[in-house]
Amino acid sequence: NAGVTQTPKFQVLKTGQSMTLQCAQDMNHNSMYWYRQDPGMGLRLIYYSASEGTTDKGEVPNGYNVSRLNKREFSLRLESAAPSQTSVYFCAGRQSPNTGELFFGEGSRLTVL
Amino acid sequence: TQLLEQSPQFLSIQEGENLTVYCNSSSVFSSLQWYRQEPGEGPVLLVTVVTGGEVKKLKRLTFQFGDARKDSSLHITAAQPGDTGLYLCAGGTYSGAGSYQLTFGKGTKLSVIP
């Protein structure tokens, strides 16, 4: 079982470059989430998709866009990367949007120079 | 915005010692989850507590949800090196739109020295 798979695991960008983080799950999750984790800041929600076809902003959405491509896939795009977006990004899935355990991917470490 | 304060932020103890990690808020939560995260990996759920005053045990780990559902604690008995990691609490609430949101604490980084 792959669970929640994120690609790439590591990426270095220059300021102003764009990139997309990919996330795919094979756990039949209805809801999917993107978080960023920074030292001393904990996990902060960027965007989420409660179900296929819907997306909503989280706590820190500025500078990001998302696409729920289908039930399995939820991508996070940085259109013009900034050094403040240097972070570790985690994708997570959940069976129901209203309760239950979050299953996380292994993370994608992004450095913006 | 609901805030969850975790303490201590860092904890380094010898193998065999006991420890308690705290998660406090001024807000009421519908449920409280504890996750453990190891370096280079995503967080993994340890437990969910939903009832005020609830106590759950997972081998040497004991979790308690406060009576008012504003705080929680994690107690580890006879810590082992395998307990080393980042412990995160997360409080769940329903938003005005009816969706369920999790707010994470900043974490407690535990090191158990052999």
Q: Report the percentage of chain B scoring pLDDT > 90.
A: 82
CA distance A70 to chain B (A): 20
- Write the residue in B40, B92, B104 that is nearest to A42 by C-beta: B104
Which residues are CB-neighbours of A83 under 8 A, at least 6 positions away? A15, A112, A113
What's the CA gap between B29 and B51, in Å, rounded? 10
Token pair for B104: 């994470």
Mean pLDDT to the nearest integer, B20-25: 97
Closest alpha carbon within chain B to A89: B42
Which residues are CB-neighbours of B63 under 8 A, at least 6 positions away? B34, B46, B47, B49, B55, B56, B57, B72, B73, B74, B75
State how beta strands A108-112 and A10-13 pair: parallel
Residue A98, pLDDT score:
64
Residue B78, pLDDT score:
97
Residue B18, pLDDT score:
97
List, for residues A48-89, the tens digit of each pLDDT value: 998 888 999 999 999 999 999 899 999 999 999 999 999 999
Residue B3, pLDDT score:
85
Closest alpha carbon within chain A to B92: A99
Residue B97, pLDDT score:
61
Kindly determine whether residue A104 and residue B88, on different chains, have CB atoms separated by under 8 Å: no
At residue A101 the predicted structure's pLDDT band, cuts being 50, 70 and 90, is confident
What's the CA gap between B76 and B83, in Å, rounded? 9
Mean pLDDT to the nearest integer, A93-112: 87
Sheet holding A74-78, edge to edge: A4-7, A19-25, A74-78, A65-68
Pick from A41, A83, A85: nearest CA to A63: A85
Token pair for A82: 């900034």
Q: Where does residue A31 rank: exposed (0-12), middle (13-18), buried (19+ CB within 10 A)?
A: buried
Kindly determine whether residue B88 and residue A42, on different chains, have CB atoms separated by under 8 Å: yes
Asked if the model's pLDDT at residue B13 lies above 90, the reply is yes
List, for residues B49-99, the tens digit of each pLDDT value: 999 999 999 999 999 999 999 999 999 999 999 999 999 999 988 776 667
Asked if the model's pLDDT at residue B2 lies above 70, the reply is no
**Choice between A8 and A29, residue whose per-residue pLDDT is larger:** A8
Q: Report the percentage of chain B scoring pLDDT > 70.
A: 94
Kindly determine whether residue B99 and residue A97, on different chains, have CB atoms separated by under 8 Å: yes
**Choice between A94 and A109, residue whose per-residue pLDDT is larger:** A109
Residues of B in contact with A98 (CB under 8 A): 94, 98-100
- The rounded mean pLDDT for chain A is 93
Query: Are B81 and B114 in contact, with CB atoms under 8 Å apart?
Result: yes
Q: List the end-to-end C-alpha distance of chain B, in Å, as a whole number.
A: 40
Paired with A6 in beta bridges are A23
Query: Are B12 and B113 in contact, with CB atoms under 8 Å apart?
Result: yes
